[in-house]
Structure 1
Amino acid sequence: MRIEGLLTTLPFIIGAGVLSVMDIVPSWVPGIPVLILAILLIGVLPAKRYRSRGYQMSDDRLRVVKGVMFHSDTVVPFSRVQHLDVEQGPLERGFGIARLILHTAGTHNASVTLPGLAHADATAMREEIRQHVKRESL
């Protein structure tokens, strides 16, 4: 999350640097807002987002809670699961984390994503949920 914040802030840092080098405005004018933005996007928000996420897996359902400003509490019964995915982007692969995605029957919240899991944990959860789904379908 901090790397995402850095990548989001990077164009603003470059823009502030260009304005400073070209002497269009004094260097502190774009520097202060960009510094505040960087502190928020790299330091404060990722910590809040991390603390606001969680999950709980029981015998027949997965509960996923997330959101800083807009709180979401989603319960997915295993009987509604159609298929499961474990995905990794390049940054996630570099850090050994993955996303578990549950695709469900229905149109509202048809897929629920659980990001930031260790790859081994995501795979183990996928297999455990798959076993639950398999037992219920028999």
Structure 2
Amino acid sequence: MERLHTRVLAQWSAGALVTAAVVAVVAGAIAFVDPFSLALPPLVVTGAVFGVVFVLGVAYAGLRYRSWRYEVRTNTLYIERGVLTRVETIVPYVRVQHVDSQRGPLERLLGLGTVVVYTAGSRGADVSIPGLAAERATTLQERLRDLAIESEPTDAV
């Protein structure tokens, strides 16, 4: 089983930083508008909320990283993930419609990429593998594409 690149922890921690900042600003604004609700200065409320949310977010990112695994098998792509709820996904290559590689600004900065596998079936039937080194994302995309093509049924007439 393969794991994600460790740099994904920086990406997910950056997400925790943004979330903590937004939640802290909202909490500080509430404390500013209603200063008697907590009897604490708004700046103290903002700092405390930021600290707690950021620490929890980074801890969650670490647990999320530890739970992520994937494996390219003979006939299927197997993915394990989830902190509170464990999810095991098995994608038969015969169901794969197409495979994308995505790299957002932060991912490009960190040298990471995400592979998205779109499958036949209901709307939104896709799986993503985030936190891959950029070159690994490209090779995985090509490998999954090749396996999907190989698994297509041939019409024997």
Q: Same fold (TM over 0.5)?
A: yes
CA spacing shift, 1:97–1:29, aligned 2, 3 Å: closer
Aligned to 1:38: 54
Matched residue of 2:137: which SS? helix
CA spacing shift, 1:35–1:58, aligned 2, 3 Å: same
Identity %, equivalent residues: 32
Aligned to 2:127: 112
Asked whether the equivalents of residues 20 and 49 of structure 2 are also in contact (C-alpha less than 8 Å), the reply is no
Asked whether the equivalents of residues 16 and 34 of structure 1 are also in contact (C-alpha less than 8 Å), the reply is no
| Number of aligned residues | 136
Q: Which residue of 59, 62, 66 corresponds with 1:51? A: 66
Offset from partner CA, 1:64-98 (integer Å, 9 cap, x none): 11111121100001111110000111111111111
Q: TM-score, normalised by structure 1?
A: 0.84
Is 1:9 the equivalent of 2:9? no
Paired with 1:105 and 1:20, the residues of 2 have a C-alpha distance of 50
Is 1:77 the equivalent of 2:92? yes
Paired with 2:100 and 2:137, the residues of 1 have a C-alpha distance of 9
Aligned-residue RMSD, C-alpha = 2.4
Gaps of 5+ in 1: none
Gaps of 5+ in 2: 1-11
Asked whether the equivalents of residues 20 and 51 of structure 2 are also in contact (C-alpha less than 8 Å), the reply is no
Paired with 2:107 and 2:16, the residues of 1 have a C-alpha distance of 15
